[in-house]
Chain A
Amino acid sequence: AQKVTQAQTEISVVEKEDVTLDCVYETRDTTYYLFWYKQPPSGELVFLIRRNSFDEQNEISGRYSWNFQKSTSSFNFTITASQVVDSAVYFCALSEAYPGANNLFFGTGTRLTVIP
């Protein structure tokens, strides 16, 4: 069964600090996708990244970076030099990767508050 755990319920940092959001997953599938979504106060889900299980390269996009460690089943997300606009709930999610696969399994989310 698929499961995504985001142990950090809430995090507060001061602006310009770096912050890492943890994500640990469980799956029996050998091929799967991992995602991160941002949900600002307005409620919509903003797609941040999708990573295939075969691609363990870390990725950097501006102030965002992701560390995928298959050995520990983790897909952590780091925001460098945090800004107030980064305040949101961040969800990690997992989906199967075979054709016809459907559902996303979401973690419980981490609420990040960046204090000016």
Chain B
Amino acid sequence: GAVVSQHPSWVICKSGTSVKIECRSLDFQATTMFWYRQFPKQSLMLMATSNEGSKATYEQGVEKDKFLINHASLTLSTLTVTSAHPEDSSFYICSAKRGRLTGELFFGEGSRLTVL
């Protein structure tokens, strides 16, 4: 099956620093990628939809300036958590959509962010 890779799988940072998480589709081109956030013992919540070559579409309540998303190529989307605070600690998961019509989604392994 298709493979989506996230890096890093876990990161610990100090409050106030910025952290970048990468999401790569390894064997297919993904014009659309999605970023989800998951708090402990909770469901996945969509943060934003990332389209290659255009600005990301953010869900209501998600701060655009806080969570910067860049989809610079058909195989890479990045999520940057700027000026991270402890409340940003969470599990972030990306998914990539293979094909424009089929809507088949493939998920990355997730990235666990801990802000001290």
A positions within 8 Å CB-CB of B = 33, 37, 42-45, 47, 50, 91, 95-97, 99-104, 106-109, 111
- Decide if B112 touches A43 in the complex (CB within 8 Å): yes
Within the complex, what minimum Cβ distance (angstroms) separates A33 from chain B? 7
Q: In the A-B complex, list the 6 residue pairs whose CB atoms are closest, starting with the nearest.
A: A45-B107, A44-B109, A99-B101, A43-B110, A108-B43, A106-B43
Q: CB-CB < 8 A to A108: which residues of B?
A: 42-43
Report the contact-size class of chain B (Cβ under 8 Å from the partner). Answer: 20 to 34
Of the candidates B34, B41, B95, B101, the one whose C-beta lies within 8 Å of that of A100 is: B101
Partner of B107, one of A47, A96, A97, A103: A47
- Sample of 12 A–B contacts (CB below 8 Å): A37-B107, A43-B93, A43-B109, A43-B112, A44-B108, A95-B103, A99-B103, A102-B32, A102-B103, A104-B46, A106-B43, A109-B42
